[in-house]
Structure 1
Amino acid sequence: MKSVYSISVSGRVMLNMHSLNNEGGEGNQITTRMVNIVYKDPGTGQPRLASVNAISGDMFKHIQAEHLYLRAKAEGLPLCAGCQKFSSSRALEDDNFMRNLSARDAEVIDSLLQICVIDDLEGNLIARGNRSIPRKSVVEFAWAVGVPDLTRTESYFHVRYASERGEEGVTQPIFHRPASSGVYAVVMTLEVARIGFNDISQQYSVDQDQREKRYKALLESVLYTFVEPNGAMRSTQNPHILDFQGVVTVSSQVVPAPTLSPLSENYISDLKKVVDALNGMRPGAIEVHEFNSMAEFAGVMRELVSDTVPYTLTI
Structure 2
Amino acid sequence: MENLVARWRRELRGTFSANSPTIPQWELDLEKGDDGGYFAPDSAAWAVHGSMTPVVAGIHSLLVQSLHPGAMAGVHDHSDYASDPLSRLAGTIRWIFTVTFGDTAAAQAASTKVLRIHTHIAGRYTANSGEEIDYTANDPDLLCWVHLAFTEAFLATHLALGRPLPGGPDAYVADWAVAGRLMGVPDPPLTVRQLHTQLEAFRAELRCDQRVRDTVQFLKHPPLPRSQQLGYKVLFAAAVSTLDPHYRELLGLYAPRLGPVPLPVRWAAKAVLGVVHLGLGKTGPSEQAARARRRRLGLDGVPGG
TM (norm. structure 2) is 0.27
Higher normalized helix content (fraction of residues) = 2
Structure index of larger Rg: 1
Higher normalized strand content (fraction of residues) = 1
